Amino acid sequence: MKERISFATFLSNVQIRLFTWRRGELVGTDDFGNRYFRDRKAQKGSGRRQRRWVLYNGEPEATKVPPEWHGWLHHTNDAPLKPGDAFHKPWQKEHQPNRTGTIGAYRPPGHTLEGGQRARATGDYEPWTPG
């Protein structure tokens, strides 16, 4: 399911969507629903790197790009890594986008939105006094 986006984001995406329609070749999608493209009309042997880009599912946020696709976008890998590839280790956690500024953001005890009360300092704290 596509995330909702603001009207301003929709208007800014019109140009890139037109470019994608005319010149883009779909390479794949990730678990977040982002779609990755490369230039269909890239000339081999011209000495220029092939253009690669992503269309985000929802608001554009760079932290929504998983590491395997990040490497492909920045020409580190020629092809995106597959889920069963040796790059993936069993101890690695699933990729999560940055949640700063959202409901899911971390708020430590004492944060104003978490009640504003924190535990008293322990006895090992001694404030500095000039003198």
pLDDT value of position 46 = 65
Please compute the mean of the pLDDT values over residues 111-123 and round it to a whole number.
Answer: 75
Residues 2, 57 contacting (CB under 8 angstroms): yes
State residue 87's pLDDT score: 67
- Please name the amino acid found at residue 53: W
Long-range contact list for 74-83, CB < 8 A, 24+ apart?
Answer: 75/49, 80/27, 80/28, 80/36
Q: How many residues does the chain have?
A: 131
Q: Which pairs count as long-range contacts for 4-12, CB under 8 Å and 24+ apart, including other chains?
A: 4/58, 5/58, 5/59, 6/59, 9/59, 9/60
Considering the entire predicted model, what is its pTM? Answer: 0.65
Give the separation between CA 59 and CA 2, rounded to whole angstroms: 10
Q: Mind listing the pLDDT tens digit for each residue in 3-12?
A: 677 787 777 7
pLDDT at 1 over 50: no
| Tokens 């140009």, residue located | 15
Q: What is the pLDDT of residues 37-96, one digit of tens each?
A: 998 877 676 667 889 999 988 878 888 888 888 889 999 888 877 766 666 678 878 777
The per-residue pLDDT for 94 is: 77
Locate all alpha helices (DSSP H) within 24-118, ordered by sequence.
67-73
Nearest to 82 by CA among 34, 25, 33, 27: 27
